[in-house]
Amino acid sequence: MTNRTPPPIHDVAAEFDTLPGVGPRAALRYAYWLLSQPKDRILRFAEALKKLSNGVVRCTICGLWSETSPCSICTDPTRDPSKLCVVANPQDVRVIEDSNAFRGRYHVLGGLIDPISGRTPDQLWIDPLYARLTGETAMITEVILGLDPDVAGDTTSLYLKREITRLAPAIHITRLARGLPNGAQLEYADEMTIADALENRKE
């Protein structure tokens, strides 16, 4: 972006530039597109962002973004409290829920262990997971590792399996079956693939 770009446009483009997969040129294009919209649409966009900032909190139990804490899944009495599915991100919960194949509860790590990117276990929501397992061992009998079947997902799964086995050896640990192709992201898998992966989960 050149110095000829008006500061308001520059500032909006700079914010778009921070989004995943958006470069400087695309960010500037988005800013100009937004500027071409009716003023009321721009204001609705700004209001939606404001509500996103002020109206969503992280569930203190599972880590899922929600309007309330605890979230509706954690407080749902019809969910099976003995099964806990561990996922990397909140959008993974939505994908699994859309499959209608799982009626247990969740724990959101907030990412995956990735030494190359500098993401270590202490940067994830792992300690609250251990607290749930050791404090509710009588309730949780199975932990399903619903993590992406790639290097970071495998690294995180192996780490969690080792630590959970050490802390709560009675808990059964499974992983989603390889119905998910290697390198695929859980967020983009279809409902049938997720359902098959849950049905055929393995050690």
Q: Is residue 142 part of a domain?
A: yes
Q: What pLDDT score was predicted for residue 135?
A: 80
Q: Is residue 189 part of a domain?
A: yes
Q: What pLDDT score was predicted for residue 70?
A: 94
Q: Is residue 106 part of a domain?
A: yes
Instruction: Let me know whether 50 and 69 are in one domain.
Output: no
Q: What pLDDT score was predicted for residue 191?
A: 80
Q: Is residue 1 part of a domain?
A: no
Domain region containing 39: 7-54
Whole-model pTM above 0.85?
no
Instruction: Let me know whether 66 and 149 are in one domain.
Output: yes
| Total tally of structural domains belonging to the chain | 2
Instruction: Let me know whether 170 and 71 are in one domain.
Output: yes
Instruction: Let me know whether 171 and 83 are in one domain.
Output: yes
CA distance linking residue 18 with residue 44, whole number of Å: 21
Q: CATH number for the domain including 13?
A: 1.10.8.420
- Phi, psi dihedral angles at 174 (to 5 degrees): -130, 165
Instruction: Let me know whether 20 and 47 are in one domain.
Output: yes
Q: Is residue 39 part of a domain?
A: yes
Instruction: Let me know whether 35 and 87 are in one domain.
Output: no
Q: Is residue 2 part of a domain?
A: no
Instruction: Let me know whether 50 and 72 are in one domain.
Output: no
Instruction: Let me know whether 21 and 110 are in one domain.
Output: no
Instruction: Let me know whether 47 and 83 are in one domain.
Output: no
Instruction: Let me know whether 23 and 107 are in one domain.
Output: no
CA distance linking residue 136 with residue 9, whole number of Å: 52
Q: What pLDDT score was predicted for residue 124?
A: 96
Question: Can you name the residues that pair with 172 across neighbouring β-strands?
Answer: 142
Q: What pLDDT score was predicted for residue 48?
A: 93
Q: What pLDDT score was predicted for residue 149?
A: 83
Instruction: Let me know whether 62 and 132 are in one domain.
Output: yes
Q: Give the pair of three-digit tokens for residue 45.
A: 């966009």
Taking the chain (203 residues) in runs of 10, the rounded mean pLDDT of each run is 78 94 94 94 93 91 94 96 96 94 96 91 95 80 93 94 94 83 75 76 72
Q: CATH number for the domain including 107?
A: 3.40.1360.10
Identity at 150, one-letter amino acid code = D
Element (H, E) at 63: none
Cα 107 to chain centroid, rounded: 9
Q: Is residue 123 part of a domain?
A: yes
CA distance linking residue 86 with residue 142, whole number of Å: 11
Question: Other CB atoms closer than 10 Å to residue 126's CB: what's the count?
Answer: 20
Instruction: Let me know whether 41 and 68 are in one domain.
Output: no
Q: What pLDDT score was predicted for residue 179?
A: 66
Q: What pLDDT score was predicted for residue 145?
A: 97
